[in-house]
């Protein structure tokens, strides 16, 4: 039996258990998949949306691995990166740092007011699926977005009435997205005509609820989901408004989620001949706070 130290953090309502394994030898580390399924169980243990493992990296200041409550390991987690950055900065790595993920190296900046901004890479709009059917209904506007992990962005009129658990599961398990499945974001956006520019920046306030693959439930926030939703909104603006096509459009999009608010900044240019949008770097910003810390006993199963 051994004892594992942990820190629990929240990134705008997205809760994570973080284990700092930088000083551990690989042979002495736990089996992370099993540890994730055990510790993230909200009914029987600490409870969280994921397990973050902080390690050493030859390419960046630190390495982050994330494990979902079902034991799967996604390539990227936006709010997880922000939590790792906040923890690393509090432990002496400075206010500007690099984090190696399975989706590449991400740059993070610690801002005043417990806020963290992170480079999320370049999101890609992969497909549009109007009329997609699942859970007994058809969706008028659905976009498939890669924001480091797969997301299905569904435009809705009223988020309060969306049965996120059942409908999210139906879409996550849709045959079109098998075998891996997808994350599902339900969004509500103001009418296109109500969105205006301020000093050359398109500013949008929208709302989002997310069903996360691997958590298999609705979460209070999702960073990669916010980036995917922002890319979907940017596509609608640059493809639907002539005044957004004159040059590269810049966006500042505030995403209201059950846990608070996330901000996404990105740029995009539209090619009307190909009906294609090319995005620039996306940046995700939001609050991070430490919730608690402690130790848990573990029976010594080895690293996987």
Does residue 228 form part of some domain? Answer: yes
Does residue 304 form part of some domain? Answer: no
| Interatomic CA distance for residues 77 and 173, integer angstroms | 20
Region at 102 (left for phi over 0; alpha for psi -120 to 50; beta for the rest): alpha
What pLDDT is recorded for position 25? 59
Listed in sequence order, the residues at least 6 apart from 178 whose beta carbon sits closer than 8 Å to its beta carbon are: none
Strands 283-298 and 260-271: antiparallel
Per residue in 121-175, pLDDT tens? 999 999 999 999 999 999 999 999 999 999 999 999 999 999 999 999 999 999 9
| Interatomic CA distance for residues 213 and 229, integer angstroms | 16
| Interatomic CA distance for residues 182 and 164, integer angstroms | 14
Same domain for 16 and 95: yes
Same domain for 174 and 107: no
Same domain for 115 and 8: yes
Q: What is the CATH number of the domain that holds 174?
A: 3.10.310.10
What pLDDT is recorded for position 297? 87
Instruction: Identify the bridge partners of residue 255 per DSSP, sorted by sequence position.
Output: 206, 262
Number of domains into which the chain is organized: 2
What pLDDT is recorded for position 303? 38
Per-10-residue mean pLDDT for the chain, 304 residues long? 91 97 68 93 94 96 96 95 98 96 96 97 95 93 96 96 96 94 95 80 95 97 98 91 74 97 95 84 97 86 42
Nearest to 285 by CA among 113, 100, 28: 113
| Interatomic CA distance for residues 36 and 69, integer angstroms | 6
Same domain for 276 and 129: yes
Same domain for 115 and 29: yes
Same domain for 143 and 245: yes
Nearest to 102 by CA among 126, 84, 83, 77: 77
Same domain for 147 and 76: no
Structural domain including 236 reads 124-281
pTM for the complete prediction?
0.93
Same domain for 94 and 176: no
Nearest to 155 by CA among 170, 140, 144: 140
Same domain for 102 and 150: no
CA within 13 Å, CB half, 66:
25
Does residue 303 form part of some domain? Answer: no
Same domain for 225 and 294: no
Same domain for 215 and 87: no
Same domain for 156 and 69: no
Does residue 245 form part of some domain? Answer: yes
Helix extents (H) in 132-208: 164-172
**Residues designated catalytic:** 77, 222
């Amino acid at each position: 039996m051994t004892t594992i130290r942990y820190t629990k953090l929240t990134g705008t309502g997205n809760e994570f258990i973080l284990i700092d394994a930088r000083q551990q030898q690989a042979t002495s580390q736990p089996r992370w998949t099993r540890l994730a399924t055990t510790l993230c169980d909200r009914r029987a243990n600490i409870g969280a949306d994921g397990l973050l493992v902080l390690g050493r990296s030859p390419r960046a200041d630190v390495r982050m691995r994330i494990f979902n409550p079902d034991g799967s390991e996604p390539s990227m987690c936006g709010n997880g990166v922000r939590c790792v950055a906040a923890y690393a900065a509090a432990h002496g790595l400075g206010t500007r740092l690099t984090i190696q993920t399975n989706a590449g190296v991400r740059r993070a900046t610690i801002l005043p007011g417990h806020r963290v901004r992170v480079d999320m890479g370049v999101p890609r709009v992969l497909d549009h699926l109007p009329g997609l059917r699942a859970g007994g209904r058809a969706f008028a506007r659905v976009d498939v977005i890669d924001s480091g992990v797969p997301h299905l962005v569904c435009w809705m009129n009223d988020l309060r009435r969306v049965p996120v658990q059942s409908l999210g599961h139906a879409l996550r398990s849709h045959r079109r997205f098998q075998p891996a499945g997808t994350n599902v974001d339900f969004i509500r956006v103001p009418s296109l005509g109500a969105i205006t520019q301020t000093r050359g920046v398109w500013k949008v306030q929208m709302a989002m609820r997310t069903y996360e693959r691997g958590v298999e439930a609705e979460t209070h926030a999702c960073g990669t989901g916010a980036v995917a939703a922002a890319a979907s909104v940017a596509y609608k603006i640059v493809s639907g408004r002539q005044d957004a096509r004159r040059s590269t459009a810049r966006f500042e999009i505030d995403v209201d989620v059950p846990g608070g608010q996330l901000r996404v900044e990105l740029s995009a240019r539209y090619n009307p001949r190909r009906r294609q949008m090319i995005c620039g770097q996306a940046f995700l910003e939001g609050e991070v706070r430490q919730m608690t810390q402690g130790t848990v006993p573990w029976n010594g199963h080895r690293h996987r």
